[in-house]
Copies of this chain bind each other. A is one copy, B any other.
Amino acid sequence: MAVYTKVRSEEIDAFLTRFDAGSLVSAKGIAEGVENSNYLIETTQDRFILTLYEKRVDPGDLPFFIAMLDHLAEKGCPVPPMIADRDGIKIQQLNGRYACLIKFLPGISLTVPTAAQAEATGRALGNMHDALQDFNAERPNSMNHDTWRTLAVDCGPLELDNIAPGLHDLVEAELGFLDTHWPDDLPKSVIHADLFPDNVLMLDDHVTGLIDFYFSCTDVRAYDVAITHAAWCFSEDGVQFNPAISNALIGGYSEAFNLSDTERAALPVLARAAALRFLLTRAYDWINTPADAMVTRKDPTAFLNRLKFYQANPDIFKA
Chain A interface residues (CB < 8 Å from chain B): 1-3, 6, 8-10, 12-13, 24-32, 40, 42, 106-112, 201, 203, 293-296
Contact = CB atoms under 8 A, between A and B. Distances in A.
Contact of A294 (B32, B107, B110, B294): B294
B24 A108 contact: yes
B112 A10 contact: yes
A186 B175 CA distance: 76
18 contacts: A2-B294, A6-B296, A8-B110, A8-B111, A9-B109, A10-B111, A10-B112, A26-B107, A26-B108, A26-B201, A27-B108, A28-B30, A28-B32, A30-B30, A40-B40, A42-B106, A294-B294, A294-B295
Contacts of A29: 1, 30-32
Copies of this chain held together in the complex: 2
For the complex of A and B, 9 pairs with smallest distance between CB atoms: A9-B108, A294-B294, A29-B31, A8-B111, A28-B30, A3-B31, A25-B106, A26-B106, A28-B40
A117 to B, nearest CB: 11
A100 to B, nearest CB: 17
Nearest to A24: B108
A227 to B, nearest CB: 21
Contacts of A8: 110-112
Contacts of A107: 25-26
Contacts of A293: 294
Contacts of A27: 108
A25 B294 contact: no
Nearest to A108: B9
A36 to B, nearest CB: 13
Nearest to A12: B108
Contacts of A201: 26
Contacts of A30: 28-31, 40
Contacts of A106: 25-26, 42
Contacts of A12: 108
B295 A25 contact: no
A1 to B, nearest CB: 7
Residue of A25, A28, A40 contacting most chain B CB atoms (<10 Å): A28
Contacts of A111: 8-10
A264 B276 CA distance: 69
A40 B106 CA distance: 12
Given A9-B108, A30-B31, 18 more contacts: A1-B3, A1-B29, A2-B2, A2-B294, A8-B112, A9-B110, A9-B111, A10-B110, A12-B108, A24-B108, A25-B108, A28-B31, A28-B32, A28-B40, A29-B31, A29-B32, A294-B294, A294-B295
Contacts of A3: 1, 31
A268 to B, nearest CB: 31
A66 to B, nearest CB: 23
Contact of A2 (B13, B28, B31, B40): B31
A29 B110 CA distance: 14
Given A203-B25, A294-B293, A294-B295, A108 B32 contact: no
